[in-house]
Amino acid sequence: MVSEVMGSCSSDGKHLAPRVSRAGRWRAIVLIVVHVAIALHIGHYMATGRTVSPLEPSESMAFTGDGLVNAGVIFFALAIASTLVLGRWFCGWACHVVALQDLCRHWMVKLGIRPRHVDLGVLKLVPWMAFVYMFLMPLVLTWLDGKSFAISAVALTTDSFWRTFPGWEVALLTFFVCGFAIVYLLGGKAFCSYGCPYGGIFGIADQLAPLRIRVTDACSQCGHCTVACTSNVNVSREVREYGMVVDPGCMKCLDCVQVCPKEALYVGWGAPALFAKARTALRERSRSWIREILTLLFLFGGYMALTLHNGPSGALLNAPQWKLAAILAAGSWLVAFVFRPKSSARGDYSPFEEIALGVLFLAALISFRGLHGWVPLLMAMGVAAIAAWVALQGWRLTARRDLSWRNWRLKRDGGFTPAGAVFGVLVLASVGGWALAAREQRTLVRDFRTKEAALIACSNGDFTRGLGLLEELIAAAPDDVELRIYAGQACLYLQQNERARGHLEAAVRADPLSAPAHRLLAALCDMEGKSDEAARHREAAELGRDP
C-alpha cells in the first residue's frame, strides 16, 4: 500500500503526502465526552447510592437469561438499531475499549513502533460466536426447556452498581490484554477483530445499513484512504470494486474521507453492503465447501469450549453440551454464511495454519478462562488469540529456514539470529505459562468434583466418606473457609466435637467475620455447656457476614 501512496502525484509530477485527518481530533473529543459521562454516572451513584443501571451491553444478559429489562439492554438495543441505519458507528465513536486501543496505538507510533494488523483467518468468527454465546444461547436454552419468554421485571435503576463488574485488579489486567498487548502483537483494533462480542452483532447489522462511505468518479486510486484507515480496511480496493466500503470492520471513523486528496469519498445513502455487486470480475478468496465445513467445525468446537464453563465468567465445571453446541453452531454458521464479507483479502496464514490457529485458540480459551476468578470471558478471548498466535509463531520459528517479524530478522539460512533466540525464549515461556494454566484448570476441576462428591455423600448420610474427601481438599487448601465449615458440620453429625472445633476455629482464623462458622461454634459450645463462649460466637455471627 505504500507503493500506492508513493504513486500518487500532483499535476506537476511531485508526490503528494497523505493529509492529516481532522476526524481523528473530533473523534477524540467525542470519546473524552463519553468517558466524562461515564465518570458522572459513577459519581452520581457514589453520591446518592442509587442510579441508572449500567449502560453496558453486557447487562443485556440479564434480559436474555432472566427476562429482566434494565438500562443496559435498552442501550444495547438502540445501538444495534442505529447501526442498522448508520452503519458501525458506535465502535468508532463511543466505545471505551476502542478508545483504549487507539490510544495505545497512537503512543506506540509516537515511540516508533508501528503495530501491523495480522489476519488470523478463522478467528474473525470469534466475536460473532461470543455474541451468540452471551446473548442468544440463554434464549435457546429457554426454548429447549419449554419456558416462557415473558418479561419478568423492569429495573432501570440499581443500588448495586458494581455487582456485575470485576474488581479493579481484573479490570486493569483486562485493559492491558485487550488494549496494549493485543494491539502490539496483532495490530490496531485487534480485540475488535478477534474478541469483542458486541462487534459480532454490529458487524452483521452494518451490512444492512444504507448509510455508507461511498466514492465518486474523481477517485484516482492513490491509496491514501487505506493508509489512513486504522480499522484495517482496504478502502481503495473496496471503493474501486463496489463503489462503497463494504467491510463490516469499518467503524465509520471518517479518516479515509478526510484524507482523500480528490475529496472523492463521502458518506451517502444507497444500497447496503449485503446487496453490493462487484464492478469488475473480482477474484475473491474461494468459498469452498471444505472451508465451510471447517468453519462449522470451529464454531461447534467453540461452543463446546464455552459451554464447558459454569456461566459467562465461571470456572471449567460443566459437562459437554453436545446438543446445545450443535444447535448454536448450525445457526451461527448459517448467519455467518449469509453475511460473509463481500471482499476478503488473502490471509496471512495457510489453510493448515488456520486450522492450527483455531485449535490453539480453543485450547487456550479452555485453559485460561475463569482461572481462579482472574480471567473473565472478554479477557480470555484476548489472551486466547494472543496465545494461539504466539504458539503458531513458535512453530514457524522451528519449521522455516528464514523468518522475520516486524523489523527483526529471527532466522537466516536455518540459523537463529540473536533476536530469534530471544523470541524463541519468549515463546517457550509463553507456552510454559499456558501449560501451567491448563494444569491448574485440571486441578480446579478435580477439586470441584471431589467437593461435589463429598457433599453428595454427606447429603446421603455417609458423613465418614464425605469428611474424608473434604479433609483431602483441606490438606491442599488449609485456609479455605467453606471447606472448613463443611468439614465442621460433618464432624458434628459424627459427634466428633474436638475435630469439629479444630475445623471451625481454623475457619474463624481465616475469616473472623464468617457468620456460619461462628454459628456452628455457638452450637458446639451449647452442646458442651460453655454458655459464655456460645454467647460470644452468636454475637460475632450477628456482626459477621454470610457467603
**Total residue count of the chain as it appears in this document:** 547
CA distance 283 to 380: 36
CA distance 464 to 257: 74
pLDDT at 13: 41
Q: Is beta strand 265-269 parallel, antiparallel or unpaired with respect to 408-412?
A: unpaired
Which long-range contacts (C-beta less than 8 Å, at least 24 apart) are formed by 496-505?
Answer: 497/524, 497/527, 497/528, 500/524, 503/474
pLDDT at 484: 93
Q: Is beta strand 153-155 parallel, antiparallel or unpaired with respect to 68-70?
A: parallel
Q: Which residues contact 429 (CB under 8 A, 6 or more apart)?
A: none
At residue 314, φ and ψ (nearest 5 deg) are: -85, -175
In the chain, where are the structural domains located? 461-543
Question: With pLDDT > 70 as the criterion, what percentage of the chain qualifies?
Answer: 93
Q: Which helix (H) or strand (E) holds 265?
A: strand 265-269
Q: Grid coordinates representing 545?
A: 457476614
Q: Which helix (H) or strand (E) holds 212?
A: strand 211-215
Q: Grid coordinates representing 221?
A: 486510486
- Which parts of the chain register pLDDT below 70? 1-18, 281-287, 310-315, 343-347, 547
CA distance 244 to 535: 77
pLDDT at 298: 96
Q: Which residues contact 483 (CB under 8 A, 6 or more apart)?
A: 451, 470, 473, 474, 477
pLDDT at 11: 42
Quickly list DSSP for 10-54.
Answer: -TTSPBPPPPPPSHHHHHHHHHHHHHHHHHHHHHHHHHHS-EEPP
Contact 153, 67 (CB under 8 A): yes
CA distance 364 to 438: 8
Q: Which helix (H) or strand (E) holds 7?
A: none
Closest CA to 502 of 514, 512, 494, 491: 491
Contact 197, 131 (CB under 8 A): yes
Contact 186, 104 (CB under 8 A): no
Rama region for 286: left / alpha / beta (φ>0; ψ in -120 to 50; rest) = beta
pLDDT at 314: 64
Fold of the domain built from segment(s) 461-543: 1.25.40
Q: Write b or e for each residue in 501-535: b if 16 or more Cβ atoms lie within 10 A of its Cβ, otherwise e.
A: bebbebbbeebeebbbbbbbbbbbbeeeeeeeebe
Contact 480, 512 (CB under 8 A): no
Q: Write b or e for each residue in 344-373: b if 16 or more Cβ atoms lie within 10 A of its Cβ, otherwise e.
A: eeebebeeebbbbbbebbbbbbbbbbbbee
Q: Which residues contact 382 (CB under 8 A, 6 or more apart)?
A: 174, 177, 178, 181, 182, 191, 194, 195
Q: What is the pTM of this model?
A: 0.86
pLDDT at 546: 72
pLDDT at 424: 93
DSSP single-letter state for residue 514: B
